[in-house]
Structure formats: structure tokens, C-alpha cells
Amino acid sequence: MADVLLTADRTLMSDYHQNEFLGFGTCAPPNVIPDWLYSFLFFPPMKAVNGVSLAAPYGLRKVEAQLLGEGFKVLTVDPDHIGKYLDEAKVLGIHVMDPFGLGPASSTFAAILKKEPFLAQYFRRFLEKPEVRKAKKRGLKIVVGGSGVWQFKYRENFVEEYGIDCIIDGEAERVIGKIVRAALNGEELPKYYEVSVEETPKLEEIPNILNPSVNGLVEIGRGCCRGCKFCSVTLRPLRWYPIEKTLAEIDVNFKSGYTRYACLHAEDVMLYGSRNTTPNDKKLVMLHEAVVKKCDGGIGWSHCSLATVALKPKLFSKLAEIILQKQPWWGTEVGIETGSPELAKKMMPAKAHPFKPEEWPEVVRTGMGLMHDNNLVPACTLIVGVPEETENDLIKTIELVEDLKHIRSLIVPLFFVPLGKLKNQQWFKETQMTRLHRELLIKCLRHDFRWIDNLIDLSFAGKWYAKPMRSLYTFFVKLIERKARKAGIT
Ligand code: SF4
């Protein structure tokens, strides 16, 4: 039996019908359809054998690999089956991304719909399970890690009330072993452990995953060199994996029989192997040729910048040609953030680099146009309510969204959340919304309604369950559209 159990709540232990875009649905609060139907549509349970998850979030798999490598007895378990294993366990590690719904997407939804998002509800309910409470009383140590741990600083009472013993903030490979060892030895744990820059793992210290990751996600690198002020990723050093490391992790996913697909993860896939903001043609082509050759189920990108696509259109088309040999389209997340060159200069001076921040709107138009022409479908974010935002900035963003209406994409406006270098600034609240903020929200909603049918078609094309699933999602979208129309939004 395992001393250490790893898990995450239901909204994270799902593969969203093998479609990462649908994962965004976990950010919404309960809405027009019953909760059971909503959870089935957006975050159905992951397959599990005896309660052991077939796939788990990538970050959790890295921690699992690190602990197994250090000789601990570890098991990654589905949250609904945790009770079976808790009697023997001494440490419970929980992976979090947005535990209280304070992240930009969920806090925006919650502010508008005035309800607690699903992902916050499910995290709380997991810790309220009688079997978790019972194990806690017996002395179970609860350790939390993942990209959402910053939110615990805003919920100190919750940490006490729910008996969370240790929160690890940062890349955990070099510290998780000593914390788990201390927990097993009954030693006092640090309540909030911030991983220092010196403790950030070097490439050779990052283990390969040993078991499948949700939707075949595999890292190709960590860190980002652009330094946007509102982002916490920017504080980490840039490291790129050798191709063999990525291929070895893809093999782990394939051998398990879970997937034949790989989602390449980096803050900007187009910068793979580069030390600055100019893509490295040779390394990118080599990576994609090797990955596409292996992946008969296709590939996706986690994130990609518009500046790199606009800078190297020929390289981008070459990569598209390689990827599209085996699939009709692929998806990625893209940060547009603003249509204002002035605001871009203040908040994200290197986002357009090597272009000038003044050229940002043109970079966005060019990059998005190239994505459309090459069948890359971006899910784009805008940040509203950043400090120093002016009416003029908002007008320029509205104009940019209008210019993008013919580009197949989703555009999601998110309220500013104080992170990164701006962590001491004020949150943006819905009560601060002006007429222009509303106009921008409406413009984005109209854009998304224009494209959503097309995206649903693309997402389910070729799948045996395409017809019923398509009908269900279309029904859901129509309900939301009707509600929006009634509220005078569209
Ligand atoms: S927002 Fe994106 S581009 Fe900017 S620093 Fe963060 S990861 Fe890098």
C-alpha cells in the first residue's frame, strides 16, 4: 500500500472528452443546465482501474515520478475513490490550478454570474469528504502544490479550517522529497514553502513522467523570456527539453494505451530551442517532424505567441504543413491582452519583440490571419481593468476585436488579477466596469457565438459520438445565447 497518495479534484482529474478547450468550462459557475449534465459535458470523470487514474494532470505526474525516483511508495488516485486508499496513507498531495476560482477566467465568470465557479466548489467538496476528514483527524498530512497555490495567501482561514499542512509554491522537483520525508517522520512542516530560484530544478534534475498525463500533455520547456508585468511565469528561468526527453514522455502516454495524441506544452511553443524572441527554425522543424512521425492521433500546442508567428510566416507555414499531414486543424492558447500600443508598452513591453510594442495591434492582426490561413485555432485572452488602463486603450481593444471577426477563434476577456510584478495592485471588480468594458465584453461574446458552431464541428469531427455530443453542446450554446439576448447583451 502507498504511504503517499496524489490526487486532484474532479475538475482537474478529467480529460474533458479529450478536448482541452472544454476544460475552460470548469471556470464557469452553475448556470442554465443542471449541474450533472454540465459536469458530464465539460469535465466527465477520468477512467480509473480500482480507483487508480488512467491519466492525471501533468504536474502531478512529475511529482509522482520524482517521489517514486526517491524511493517513496506513491499512488495517484481518482478523487472519487480516495477513500479506498486513505486508511494506509500518511501524506495526501493535492494538485491545484485555481482552487478558489480567483484565476482570471473563473473570477470573471463569477463576478458576472455572481456564483462560485465549479472548480472552487469541487476543490472544497473534496476536502469536505468524510473519508478525508477522518484521515485528517488520524494524522494525515495534506500537502498542496500546483500553479494555483498563490490563492491560498488570500484564504488563510481556509488553510487552517481544512487542515492543509504545507503549500509548495514553485517547481517542486528538488523540494518535494524532503517535505514528504519530514511529513512521514512526523516533523513540523513549513506552512508556505516558496521554492527559491536556487532550488528551481535544472533540466537534468527534471524526471520524465512514468504514467500517462491528461490529454497526452508533455512539456517541451519551462519559463518565458518576455517578462509581462501581470504574469508569474516570467519569474522562472528558461529551459528547453532535448527532443529525446519529449519523445520519451510521449512513449509513456502511448504505451499505456491511453492516447495517441500529444499536446506540446511551453509558454511559447514557437520559441522551442531559442534563447531569445526569434524562433529557431532548425530545432522547431526537427521537433515537429519527430513528434508528428510518432503521433498518429495528432498533436496540439498549449501556448503560442503572435509575435513569433508574424515574424516567421514561412517557418509557421512549414510547421503547419508538417502538423496537418495527420490532422485537419490544431489548437493553442494565445495572449492578445490588449489592442492598445500604449498599454502594451506599459504592461508587456517585450510581448511583441522583436517588433516594437507600438506595432502590437498589427502583430496581432498578422499573426491571427496566419493562424486562420494555416488551420491553427487560437483560444485568445484579453485582460481588462489592468492598472493604468484608459478609455483610449479600451477603444483600441474593441477596434482590434472588430478587426478579428473573420478569424476562426475564441476571444475571452478576463478581469485583471494581481500577479507577477503587479501582485500588490488592486483586483479589478465588476463594479468598476464602465460602458466601454461592457461594450468589449459584448463584442467578444458576439465573436465567440459567431464561431462556436464551427469549433464544435471541428472538435467532434470523425468521433463516433460526434452527433449526440454536437447536439448537446449546440443546445447549451443556444440556451446561453437566448439568456444573453434576454439580458440585452447580444
Ligand atoms: S504572459 Fe505569456 S508571454 Fe508574457 S511573460 Fe507570461 S508566459 Fe511570457
**pLDDT tens figures, 177-214:** 999 999 999 999 999 999 998 899 999 999 999 999 99
Q: Which residues are within 8 A (CB) of 249 and not within 5 positions of it... i.e. 6 or more apart? A: 208, 209, 213, 218, 219
Domain co-membership, 165 together with 265: no
Residue 113: inside a domain: yes
For residue 227, report the distance from its CA to the centre of ligand 1, in Å.
Answer: 6
Last residue of a domain, one of 178, 199, 220: 199
We report the CATH number of the domain holding residue 385 as 3.80.30.20
Q: Does residue 221 share a domain with residue 167?
A: no
Task: Assess whether 195 and 222 both reside in one domain.
Answer: no
233 lines ligand 1 (CB under 6 A): yes
When divided into structural domains, the chain yields a total of: 2
Tell me which of 233, 338, 421 to substitute to probe ligand 1's pocket, judged by most ligand atoms within 8 Å of the beta carbon. Answer: 233
User: Does residue 146 sit within a domain?
Assistant: yes
Q: Is residue 206 part of a domain?
A: no
Instruction: Establish if 204 belongs to a structural domain.
Output: no
Q: What are phi and psi of 282, to 5 degrees?
A: -65, -50
Residue ID of nearest Cα to ligand 1 atom 2: 267
Final residue of a structural domain among 199, 233, 262? 199
Q: How far is the CA of 266 from the centre of ligand 1 (A)?
A: 10
In a domain, 158, yes or no: yes
Atom 4 (ligand 1): residue with closest C-alpha?
228
Residues 401 and 482 in one domain: yes
- Would residue 256 count as lying in a domain? yes
Do 166 and 261 sit in the same domain of this protein?
no
How confident is residue 486, by pLDDT bands cut at 50, 70 and 90?
Answer: low
Query: Using CA positions, which residue lies closest to atom 7 of ligand 1?
Result: 267
Same domain, 70 and 40: yes
pLDDT averaged over every residue in the chain: 92
Q: Could you tell me if residue 352 is inside a domain? A: yes
191, 295: one domain = no
Give the CB-side neighbour count of residue 37, counting CA atoms within 13 A: 9
| Dist CA 1 CA 356 (whole Å) | 57
Dist. CA 345 → ligand 1 center (Å): 14
> Could you tell me which residues come within 8 angstroms of residue 240 by beta carbon, excluding any fewer than 6 positions away?
203, 220, 221, 266, 272, 273, 274, 283
Note the pLDDT of residue 358. 96
Same domain, 223 and 194: no
The answer to whether the CB of 351 is under 6 A from ligand 1 is yes
Q: Are residues 139 and 220 in the same domain?
A: no
Residues 154, 277 within the same domain: no
> Is there a single domain that holds both residue 63 and residue 126?
yes
Query: Average pLDDT for residues 87-93, to the nearest whole number?
Result: 96
CA–CA gap between residue 29 and residue 17 (Å, rounded): 19
Strand partners, 49: 52
| C-alpha to C-alpha distances, 49 to 23, 55, 132, nearest whole angstrom | 23, 11, 20
Residue 489, pLDDT > 60, answer no
Give the domain CATH number at 30.
3.40.50
Domain residues for 72? 4-199
The SS3 call for residue 264 is: strand
Q: Which residue among 147, 222, 230, 231 has the greatest number of ligand 1 atoms within 8 angstroms of its CB, and so is best to mutate?
A: 231
- Given 199, 232, 261, which residue is the final one in a domain? 199
Regarding beta strands 91-95 and 74-76, do their DSSP bridges make them parallel or antiparallel, or are they unpaired? unpaired
State the distance from the centre of ligand 1 to the C-alpha of 267, rounded, in angstroms.
7
Work out the burial of residue 77: count CB atoms within 10 Å of its CB; fewer than 13 is exposed, 13-18 middle, 19 or more buried.
buried
Tens digits of per-residue pLDDT, 384-431?
A: 999 999 999 999 999 999 999 999 999 999 999 998 899 999 989 878
Query: What's the CA-to-centroid distance between 415 and ligand 1, angstroms?
Result: 16
**CA–CA distance, 466 with 299 (Å, rounded to integer):** 20
Whether residue 15 lies inside any domain: the answer is: yes
Looking at the structure, tell me whether residues 220 and 153 fall in a common domain: no
pLDDT band at 487 (very low <50, low <70, confident <90, very high): low
Q: What is the DSSP letter of 149?
A: G
CA distances from 461 to 15, 272, 344, 469 (A): 17, 30, 38, 11
Q: If you measure from the C-alpha of residue 354 to the centroid of ligand 1, how many angstroms do you get, rounded to a whole number?
A: 15
226 lines ligand 1 (CB under 6 A): yes
